[in-house]
Chains A and B, each alone.
Chain A
């Protein structure tokens, strides 16, 4: 009984970790695609390419901020109900 509970908890924990890793990879990929699209639109509107690139980098820095906030929140979770 106790072993099955531990196995079940371990399984859920592994699923959670795997999901978070996949999410992190997807986030990186989506951020890259979004940054490229953002840059393209700025260039289309007549902005110099270097400036557009700089602004696009600023946009993609949101990803780092999201990750920082997320890990900050995860490290302070307590499971009181």
Chain B
């Protein structure tokens, strides 16, 4: 009889753990669905907008014009302007900071972690996990 009661308790415990896990996944998805798009929107908006393109074009154009005015051959001026643009557009190195190697120190990772912890604290899930 006692063994049966133990088994029922174990089943209840198991079910409770699964419920907590499901709640946790739900909470993670809620935070991620709110935070991730806005973070990406911010990054993308700062690089890809008509204004950003115009400003970058103005800077590159002025650079090219100065080179041409100072008597630089056209081919070299174009190549130097190309290098100048690649300084702006070389986002690969910047994006690598958000990559898996340095995830713990990245701002996005920290921000998401902070929001998730806050959310769990609100719902009392943080205590269950610890």
Question: Do A and B come from the same complex?
Answer: yes
Instruction: Encode A13-50 as 1/0 by CB contact (under 8 A) with B.
Output: 10110011001001100110111111111101111000
Please give, as numbers and ranges, the residues of chain A lying within 8 Å of B56 by CB-CB distance.
34, 38, 41, 59
A5 touches B49 (CB 8 A): no
Q: Tell me which residues from 1 to 20 in chain A have a Cβ below 8 Å from any Cβ of chain B.
A: 1-2, 5-6, 8-9, 12-13, 15-16, 19-20
Please give, as numbers and ranges, the residues of chain A lying within 8 Å of B85 by CB-CB distance.
55, 58-59
CA–CA, A44 to B54, complex, Å? 11
B36 touches A16 (CB 8 A): yes
B92 touches A65 (CB 8 A): yes
Residue ID in chain A nearest B100 by CB atoms: A76
Interface residues of A (CB under 8 A from B): 1-2, 5-6, 8-9, 12-13, 15-16, 19-20, 23, 26-27, 30-31, 33-42, 44-47, 51, 55, 58-59, 61-63, 65-66, 69-70, 72-73, 76, 79, 81
B44 touches A38 (CB 8 A): no
A81 touches B53 (CB 8 A): no
> A22 to nearest B CB, angstroms?
8
> B36 to nearest A CB, angstroms?
7
A66 touches B44 (CB 8 A): yes
B57 touches A42 (CB 8 A): yes
Query: Knowing that A9-B22, A12-B30 are A-B contacts, what are 11 other residue pairs whose CB atoms are under 8 Å apart, sorted by A's residue number?
Result: A5-B23, A12-B32, A13-B29, A20-B36, A33-B49, A42-B60, A47-B78, A55-B81, A55-B82, A59-B53, A73-B99
